[in-house]
Chain A
Amino acid sequence: MSQVFDRKVFEEIEKGRKKWEKELEKIFASAPERLERFSTVSDREIERIYTPADVADLDFERDIGFPGQFPFTRGVQPSMYRGRLWTMRMFAGLGTAKDTNKRFHLLVKEGQTGLSTAFDMPTLMGYDSDSPRSRGECGKCGVAIDTLKDMEDLFDGLPIDRITTSMTINPPASVLWAMYIAMAEKRGIPRKVLGGTIQNDMLKEFIAQKTFMCPPEPSVRIITDTVEFGTKEVPKWNTISISGYHIREAGSTAVQELAFTLADGIAYAEAAVERGLDVDDFAPRFSFFFNSHLDFFEEIAKFRAARRMWAKIMKDRFKAKNPRSWWLRFHTQTAGCSLTAQQPYNNVVRTALEALAAVLGGAQSLHTNSLDEVLALPTEEAATIALRTQQIIAEESGVANTIDPLGGSYFVEALTNQMEEEAWEIINKIDEMGGMLSAIEKNYPQQEIADAAYHYQKRIDEKQRTVVGVNKYVTDEETPVEILEIDEELERLQIEKTNRVKSERDNKKVQECLERLTEACVEDRNVMEPLIDAVKNYATLQETCDVYRKVFGEYRDPGIY
């Protein structure tokens, strides 16, 4: 035990506090406090001041410790940013695979250390560009991938054996991953060396982002297939990026984001253990993805609490022995929902603050939003400013000079404890419901988020929360921002390309592959090998996803408001 504060100290502090408060009362008697209630973005009430009394039980070893040591409050690696900076990973993807490929080459030249792909809506939902459901959406907020040909064009000329690739994809994650592996193997690069991440987190889709295809149970089954395959075949790949980002974007509070994300992680780990995998074989490949919102300290506390909680979950609940299993490694994106269409240049400042919180919270990689994100897809210039923001934080501000600079702050430690405690409560509730799958079925997280989102919007409308340029400091003038337009021709061209691929492939072979995939689905065998075969023979995204839909059924929006 290494109690941080001595009991005797508290009496002194209490005395001092009383004296100070008396003084304050005098001041506030003539001019009251600026606000009736001081609270965070999540509407958590914040005290006037924090003292050792707020962290009375703090134990250095148990609660804080050193970076790289249990419970990892201060960071997962011992060296943190003294060794290597976080990965500056910017999301890119627009139009056709060829367009995005150009952007990728540019980003690599600019010094970006990892690629991140955004797909268009039809791809995200498992539809080909020529599906009636895809009308008007092809290439709109990401790149369209229908067949392996598109994947080949997307990574043409890029050193995929050396860079890592992150693919933001969920219901069809297994298919896109199969395409990536197939593409690499065709270039003579073995699976074993491939590094990257697929988001592959369906639970948060049911909870928040609503990109869904099959019902929750079979969705988790397919995910478990990828976890199993990754563990055995593609050991450097992160097979799930357990995401709180979208939960927050859907309007949750910081604690809800924390709790629901960890509860999702528990569900995936349970499924993998049930499959017969050893926790220490797969857990090190789980990664996380959090939102970094505007409330600076609350966010930092959230990241610290998340690390501490996951370490305990892995060690105590899953009995993991490998310290790597205890690590909560996470990617962060600044909060898209905090940006405003009004006075868009203010967004640069918001993003900088959010990025700073992520860095002080010990993120492993970071995406900073572009100032025009709420208006349309980012232009090249806006995306560059966003990247520069990270570079300035990293190399000019000095915040990366020491590890966990806020560790030991009365306020931050108290907040970290408080958030952890509240998040455990939510996780316990979910456990009582029988785990995340049943909680989702009961619409528990969906309802909680809907309530929080409405509450937040109400507070803004009633001006209890300031949003600069929206409900305060409003100006009439419009700031012209350059906007990126996606060519409407693109849809036609993409459909033509896919039709060409379809006419040139061996259709009989494709049918055989799809049948084998169907069998694997029905007979509960791992889908990955049949998938890789199918896409190598140029089966389309939708053809493979239709197999899933047919075998497992389609999930429809329960419409919680």
Chain B
Amino acid sequence: MAQGRRIRIMVAKPGLDGHDRGARIIARAYRDAGFEVVYTGLHQTPEEIVEAAIQEDVDMIGLSSLAGAHKYLFIRTVELLREKGAEDIVVCGGGIIPEEDIPMLKEAGVKEIFTPGTPLGVIVEWVEQNVKPR
């Protein structure tokens, strides 16, 4: 024992689009930054993601969407966490998200949105500063 807290992150692909290049790359970057990453694989519903996140006791869920369904998928994920009393799990999103959707997503409780081109280092740093391992 006596390990100390370690950041645990769930990298999840909600929805039907299969573009997991970004999700896979970010999973590796998190690992290389010393985080423990649970990857859900593709084609997940928000319900499946939230249930898994609770069982895995992650500190953050990173959602990736590239097919325009982020509004429903991201917001539903946040809602479900709230319903289950797990709103302390930080939710972040990445992928093709139009600039003008970002305020609305943040309003709904998505903590941060990373648009294409954000360097991995910047994302990792954001996590280190904003996600506390319980």
Contacts and interface: CB of A to CB of B under 8 A. Distances in A.
Nearest to A375: B98
Interface in A525-561: 556-561
A376 B120 contact: no
B133 interface: no
A559 B39 CA distance: 8
Contacts of B98: 375-376, 483
A136 B72 contact: yes
Interface in A315-366: 337, 340-342
Contacts of A137: 15-17, 67-69, 72
B63 interface: no
A265 to B, nearest CB: 21
A264 to B, nearest CB: 17
Contact of A250 (B21, B67, B71): B21
Given A453-B25, A557-B41, A478 B18 contact: no
B117 A121 contact: no
A478 B99 contact: yes
Contacts of B115: 341
Contacts of A558: 41
Contacts of A141: 17, 67-68
B4 interface: no
Contacts of A211: 16, 18
Interface residues on A, range: 35 or more
Contacts of B96: 341, 374-376
A141 B73 CA distance: 15
A88 interface: no
B100 A483 contact: yes
Interface in A459-473: 460-461, 467, 470-471
A528 B83 CA distance: 47
Given A133-B43, A341-B115, A450-B24, 8 more contacts: A122-B16, A125-B16, A136-B15, A140-B68, A211-B18, A212-B18, A340-B117, A454-B24
Interface of B: 15-21, 24-25, 27-29, 39-43, 45, 67-69, 71-73, 76, 96, 98-100, 115-117, 119-121
20 contacts: A124-B16, A125-B16, A134-B16, A135-B45, A135-B72, A137-B15, A137-B67, A140-B69, A209-B18, A211-B18, A249-B19, A251-B21, A337-B21, A341-B116, A376-B68, A454-B24, A457-B29, A478-B99, A486-B68, A557-B41
